[in-house]
A and B are shown apart, each in its own frame.
Chain A
Amino acid sequence: MTGLRAIATPRGAATVVAVTLMWCGLWREISVANVLAGLAVAVAIMASGMGPAATGRLNVIALVKLFAVITIDLIKATWTVAFETITPGNNTQESVIAVALPPGHRRYGLLLTIAITITPGTAVVDISEDGSIVYLHLLYHESRDDTVAHTLRLARMAAEAWPEPDPAPDAGRRPSEVTS
């Protein structure tokens, strides 16, 4: 579902709000004029069909939780690589592992990618065609089990934040969008 109708969906509405906020931020002032203009801009973007493909509901609390986890991960990750950098020697043992996601948690490529890539010592190398397998790059192969567990947790949290939508087929969408 794209275009103007998408505004009515949670994700569409979120986009509108975000764009409006950003508009005011760019103008460095929250005034009536800026809010109205920001809304107009947001609506225009949605109308142009270039807004996000908006499906499903949104669980704000779960989303916030996820962001909290990500933030902590980020700090840890920074520490990990910083430590590796400032200590002499290279103690890494790189590997690529496959993690199979449970059904129902396969739709959030981006969120998951961000989350995992920011997680200490891991990065997403690839995602299988149907989204069921994530391939991760590990800096320290010994942390494999922790990483798999953490990945599955993140996937679960993402699924909570954006629950699976009704399986209504969307005629206007491209095949590529179906895969994600």
Chain B
Amino acid sequence: MSIVGEILMVLGAAIAVIAGIGLVRPDFDTVYLRMHLAGKASPVSFLVVALGAVFFLDFAVAASVVIAAVAMVVTLPTGVHLLFRAAHRAKEVEHFEVDELSSGTVDAP
């Protein structure tokens, strides 16, 4: 049982490392790209680690980890969205293929 947990933990750490590499890769040169990494890889790395930890801990103790995981899932994407919004408002837009927010084009539903 605990071996599963350990593997999950290492997996989580690996995901975290990938997120880290993404942050430092020089050719990942837009802030949006880095935000995608932080917004997706990071929470997942923690979720995986947390899942791994649950295998080790007593059920009741694991509750804390679960709560933290839920809290993160709820909060992190919200935060990242706000950062996206801020980035766009800061006119960080030159490299976009298409920018319908700035141009005002709207697709019909």
A and B touch in the complex (CB under 8 A): yes
Residues of chain A whose beta carbon lies under 8 Å from any beta carbon of chain B: 22, 24-26, 28-30, 74-75, 77-78, 80-82, 84-86, 89-90, 92-102, 110, 113-114, 117-118, 120-121, 123-126, 133, 135, 137, 139, 141, 148, 152
Are A96 and B100 touching (Cβ within 8 A)? Answer: yes
CA distance A127 to B13 in the complex (A): 34
CA distance A103 to B95 in the complex (A): 32
Contacts of A113 in B (CB 8 A): 77-78, 81
Please give the number of chain B residues whose Cβ is less than 8 angstroms from any Cβ of chain A in the complex.
50
CA distance A126 to B100 in the complex (A): 11
Given A82-B41, A96-B98, CB of A137 within 8 Å of CB of B67: no
How many residue pairs, one in A and one in B, have C-beta atoms under 8 Å apart?
Answer: 142
* From A78, A102, A126, A133, contact of B15 by CB (8 A): A78
For A24, the closest partner residue in chain B by CB is B63
Are B107 and A123 touching (Cβ within 8 A)? Answer: no
Interface check B10, CB cutoff 8 A: no
Contacts of B35 in A (CB 8 A): 123
Are A85 and B22 touching (Cβ within 8 A)? Answer: yes
CA distance A96 to B94 in the complex (A): 11
The minimal Cβ–Cβ distance linking B52 to chain A, given in whole angstroms, is 15
For B100, the closest partner residue in chain A by CB is A98
Are B36 and A123 touching (Cβ within 8 A)? Answer: yes
Interface check B21, CB cutoff 8 A: yes
Interface check B85, CB cutoff 8 A: yes
For A103, the closest partner residue in chain B by CB is B109
Given A28-B64, A78-B15, A82-B41, CB of A99 within 8 Å of CB of B107: yes
CA distance A38 to B49 in the complex (A): 28
Contacts of B39 in A (CB 8 A): 117-118, 123
The minimal Cβ–Cβ distance linking A108 to chain B, given in whole angstroms, is 13
